[in-house]
Amino acid sequence: MDKEIYKKLEKQIGYKFKNKNILNQALTHSSFSSKNNNERLEFLGDRVLGLIIAKNMYLKYPKEAEGDLAKRHTSLVCKDALLKISDKLNLSYYTQYNTKNKSKFQTNHAIFADTIEALLGAIYLDSNLKNCEKFILKFWDLEEFATPQMDAKSTLQEWAQSKKYGLPKYTLTAQEGTEHSPIFHIQVSINNFDPIKGSGLNKKEAEKNAAENFLNKYCEK
């Protein structure tokens, strides 16, 4: 990747890499390189992000119970939150991926959310947790949620139980795509209602999407 592109991104994130190779790896999707890609850095960055967000939630809300802290934490580390950051940084421009399927990857925004985690992993290996925290505090709005957010699955479960419909049932109906970029289709069923479908890059995301679709159709009118 061109050095000027590196400089532009480093200026945006507020961190200059000593090892440019690890930055290059963080910006490389597995569709571009099967060996020197960002999957392992993504794994590391996910843990770094979780720890730093947890620490800041713990200090910022000293009177909140563990369950409420967990809800805030989930809202700040989920794919939707990461996508907001990736959009701010225009990571679709910096990320290297298979251009033969360019339109597919541009619509599959989750790979750019993964790049955010890989960047965090790279910053950690290139320096320390302190610089990772600086990056996170620069781009994550820790006060975005005035009250702890409940995820769609929990909201749907509480609604169903309050109406005495029983627990929602999630069923995998189909899986397509490649090993590195799968798409899961799941439907959620509740007594007395037609099943509602959802999709995602993993089962958890697909279940969440199905729950959101159910809530939008039946519960939020």
Q: Which residues are catalytic?
A: 46, 117
- The string of DSSP codes covering 72-117 is HHHHHHSHHHHHHHHHHHTHHHH-B--GGGHHHHHH-THHHHHHHH
Q: Angle 110-126/79-89 helices, nearest 10 degrees?
A: 80
In 10 A of CB 125, how many CB atoms? 17
Q: Angle 66-77/79-89 helices, nearest 10 degrees?
A: 40
Residue with tokens 């950690």: 124
Distances (CA, A) of 142 to 56, 81, 135, 165: 8, 11, 13, 36
d(C-alpha 25, C-alpha 200), whole Å: 25
Within 8 A by CB and 6+ apart from 169, the residues are 188, 189, 190
Residue with tokens 């890059």: 201
